[in-house]
A and B are shown apart, each in its own frame.
Chain A
């Protein structure tokens, strides 16, 4: 599995916050993570041998279609095990500690304080019967950051920071009295309340209008720049990741198939699946070439022994169905799991 291990990128053009930029150990290292879900009496791997790292201050994007295992991978940062799932192998090292070896009790001071989560649907994250200001105060008090009046002052300050108008007034409202965009700002305020080292964003703007999404992406960029937080941003829309991430990792059928600095990935995507995902981003500029479009759907019940994408790949050869693919460094800091990638480069005339 050596080829699949994400080594800290050498300097070069490794984007602003790449692991090398700050030197030293990355904040997060995921090594050969495998997560299984129980299906009847069998365990099925939904995440297979996934390895990557997130540098300090870096934002890593995790892209892929529904069911590719991206959320499962992201939740591993919290040591979460959903009912019916198990970590079958691998390690998640956060700031030198192996998270998967910790008990719930040991995780408690880390979750929400050092690693926080912004999930997709803000309405179901907030408690409907509690004023939103109180929900932030609870987080601050729970982690012993501040309490009482101080916590309320800090809440109002946080609401200002996430761009909520009249923060003191908003703090006295219930979630249903806020719009979707405002609710998501409250959730972001809770997520950054304890100044975490890592914020995990799981499709945080998918349920929102494009205008609201645009403002939230600007806000997140601003917060990251100011705080130096690392982030893991999960999305099916590469357009969103292009805007906010330093590096992007693409997953397919539970495996990482390509990882590269953002500009490199968009300018020279090597894996046919990545190319299809990029072509699927709705754009104003020009219509995409038909050959790159993704055909069909990810069907996990019918994966070949070789490359999982082979059945949908316009370039697949018989070997693709039989030979498993491993991530390989094709350029400095650009890894791809496709043996045909060098040939395809030649065919990739724009």
Chain B
């Protein structure tokens, strides 16, 4: 099967500022360093109708990667193919058909919808760009789209500020669906919402996938959220994919130590197990130049190895990669019986 999307060895850096002042400051500081890539050596695929979760903390490069798939940022290296065709080019040089097939839903629905235009306008615009519909067809299609996200037809005349967060996110999803895409990039679409509303939106996304066979790249920082939505999970740390596998593989130990930290951070399980070393990423500062990026926060680092050598990509199974110096059996030894192991290993009744 040809994957829907195939991302291979992608590296993305943000260019340093080109302004006179910025260049002068750099010259004065004799700063000739290359910018640290926001994403490096990223390779993964998304199959038709599949949900791939992209998980990591702020600054891990999740959004950068999604934006490059949408053509909003150009990778410096690597390639991206959509249904086998190369798409490594900016959005304005992509064919209309490709634009239609890749849609984006943003974190904050309040700021992604035009507050001064009715829902009618937002949906209608997408339809007008991609389809040539008659007045009646256009009206019917808009009503159908609203119905598919469980909003009454009356919402067509509302302005975004009159919508709650959950309703606005439904409109944003309807707008993406209007294009009849094959892939929707969902960038933290739940984080601005209440947990109860999050649950409703997750259910809606599943339902829409069942009826339209759309694939999702679902970006989140909370692993618990993706547990019952994703087919596969890609874990990103400081721009590198540190683990990827099927959802079962990711939630069953042995994990990458960073995945173990993310699992341990899920609220509602009492005191967290991981030590103080596992501070927020920013406290540790930027990733070290050499060795494993996660080494400064890792409880199981091997002195003399992890800070020196780049970690190898280990294939725990044909579908499961881990970027780590610790072998699967070493990781199993330290993780099974720890918090993350206990949770995933225990039957549901005991865990609650």
Shortest Cβ distance from residue B169 to the other chain A in the assembled complex, whole angstroms = 12
Q: Give the CA-CA distance A294 to B197 in the complex, in Å.
A: 8
User: Which residues of the partner chain A approach B249 to less than 8 Å between Cβ atoms?
Assistant: none
Alpha-carbon distance between A78 and B14 when the two chains are bound, in angstroms: 46
Q: What 0/1 pattern do residues 62 to 78 of A give for CB contact below 8 A with B? A: 00011000000000000
**Cβ A243 vs Cβ B267 within 8 A:** yes
Complex Cα distance, B225 from A287, in Å, reads: 11
**Segment at the B interface, from A4-12, A81-89, A149-157, A232-240:** A232-240
A280 & B227 in contact (Cβ 8 Å cutoff): no
Query: A293 contacts B221, CB within 8 Å?
Result: no
Q: Tally inter-chain residue pairs, CB-CB below 8 A.
A: 134
Q: Is A318 an interface position by the 8 A CB rule?
A: no
Contact B265–A211 (Cβ < 8 Å): yes
A121 interface hit (Cβ, 8 Å): no
Q: Which of chain A's residues have a CB closer than 8 A to the CB of B166?
A: 297
Which residues of A sit under 8 angstroms from B271, Cβ to Cβ?
218, 221
Candidates A164, A209, A217; contact of B58 at CB < 8 Å: A209
How distant is the Cα of A151 from the Cα of B268 in the complex, in angstroms? 37
A242 touches B279 (CB 8 A): no
Q: Most B CB atoms within 10 A — which of A66, A182, A239, A283?
A: A283
Contact status A242-B267, CB under 8 Å: yes
B157-183: CB near A (< 8 Å → 1, else 0) gives 000000011110000000000000000
What CA separation (Å) do A210 and B272 show in the bound complex? 12
Q: A180 on the interface (CB 8 Å rule)?
A: yes
User: What 0/1 readout, one digit per residue, does chain B (259-292) give for beta carbons within 8 Å of chain A?
Assistant: 0011111111111100010111111000000000
Query: Is the C-beta of A350 less than 8 angstroms from some C-beta in chain B?
Result: yes
The reply to whether the CB of B137 lies closer than 8 angstroms to some CB of chain A is no
| Residue in A211, A236, A297 whose CB lies within 8 Å of B195 | A236
Partner of A65, one of B194, B203, B265, B267: B194
Which of B165, B195, B200, B267 interacts with A214 by CB under 8 Å? B267
A238 touches B268 (CB 8 A): yes
Q: Please, which residues of chain A bring their CB within 8 A of the CB of B200?
A: 293-295
Q: How far is the CA of A96 from the CA of B266 in the complex (A)?
A: 39
Most buried by B among A65, A280, A281, A282: A282
Q: How many residues of B contact A (CB 8 A)?
A: 48
**How does the 8 Å CB contact mask read for A211-241 relative to B, with 1 for contact and 0 for none?**
1111101100100000000000000111110
**Which of chain A's residues has its CB closest to B228's CB?**
A287
Residue from the list A212, A282, A284 in contact with B251, Cβ < 8 A: A284
Please judge, given known A-B contacts A65-B196, A286-B352, whether A239 and B57 are in contact too, CB under 8 Å: no
Whether the Cβ atoms of A217 and B261 lie closer than 8 Å is no
In the complex, chain A residues whose CB is within 8 Å of the CB of B343: 284-285
Most chain A CB inside 10 Å of its own CB: which residue of B268, B272, B348, B352:
B268
Q: Scoring B residues 25 to 60 as 1 if CB is less than 8 Å from chain A, else 0, what string do you get?
A: 000000000000000000000000000000001100
Asked if B223 is at the interface of the complex by the 8 Å CB criterion, the answer is yes
A236 — which chain B residues lie within 8 A by C-beta?
194-196
Q: Which of A182, A284, A350 has the most CB atoms of chain B within a 10 A radius of its CB?
A: A284
B198 at the interface (CB under 8 A from A): yes
Residues on B with beta carbons closer than 8 Å to the beta carbon of A242: 267-268
B258 to chain A, nearest CB (A): 9
| Chain A residues within an 8 Å CB radius of B266 | 210, 214, 239, 282-284
Q: Which residues of B contact A65 (CB under 8 A)?
A: 194, 196-197
Find chain A residues with CB under 8 A from B267 CB: 210, 213-214, 217, 237, 239-240, 242-243, 281
Whether A276 contacts B196 in the complex (CB less than 8 A), given A181-B283, A209-B57, A218-B271, comes out as yes
* CB <8 Å contact, B272 and A240: no
Asked if B129 is at the interface of the complex by the 8 Å CB criterion, the answer is: no
Judge if B338 is at the interface, Cβ distance under 8 Å. Answer: no
Nearest CB of B to A257, in Å: 14
Does B279 lie within 8 Å of A215, measured CB to CB? yes
B264 touches A214 (CB 8 A): yes
Distance in angstroms from B279 CB to nearest chain A CB is 7
On whether A66 and B194 interact (CB within 8 A), knowing A211-B265, A211-B280, the answer reads yes
| Nearest-CB residue, chain A, relative to B56 | A209
Report the bound CA distance from A295 to B346 in whole Å.
29
Instruction: List, in ascending order, chain A residues with CB within 8 A of B227's CB.
Output: 282-284
Q: Check A284/B223 contact, CB under 8 A, given A182-B283, A210-B262, A294-B196.
A: yes
Distance A297 CA – B224 CA, assembled complex (angstroms): 23
Q: What 0/1 pattern do residues 117 to 153 of B give for CB contact below 8 A with A?
A: 0000000000000000000000000000000000000
- CB proximity of B294 to chain A, nearest CB, Å: 12
- Please indicate the chain A residues that have their CB under 8 angstroms from the CB of B251 in the complex: 284
A201 on interface, CB distance cutoff 8 Å: no
Q: Which residues of A contact B351 (CB under 8 A)?
A: 285-286
**Given the complex of chains A and B, what is the CA–CA distance between A293 and B214 in angstroms?**
25
Question: Which of A211, A238, A284 interacts with B261 by CB under 8 Å?
Answer: A211
Chain A's nearest CB lies how many Å from the CB of B336?
Answer: 16
Q: Nearest 3 CB-CB pairs, A to B?
A: A179-B282, A239-B268, A286-B348
Which residues does B use to contact A, with CB under 8 Å?
A: 57-58, 164-167, 194-200, 203, 221-225, 227-228, 251, 261-272, 276, 278-283, 343-344, 346, 348-349, 351-352
Interface residues of A (CB under 8 A from B): 65-66, 163-165, 178-182, 209-215, 217-218, 221, 236-240, 242-243, 276-277, 279-287, 293-295, 297, 350
Q: A212-B280, A215-B278, A215-B279 are in contact. List 7 more A-B contacts (CB 8 A).
A: A66-B164, A182-B280, A211-B265, A215-B280, A238-B195, A285-B343, A285-B351
- Name 5 interchain pairs, CB-CB below 8 A, sorted by A: A66-B165, A211-B278, A218-B271, A281-B267, A285-B346
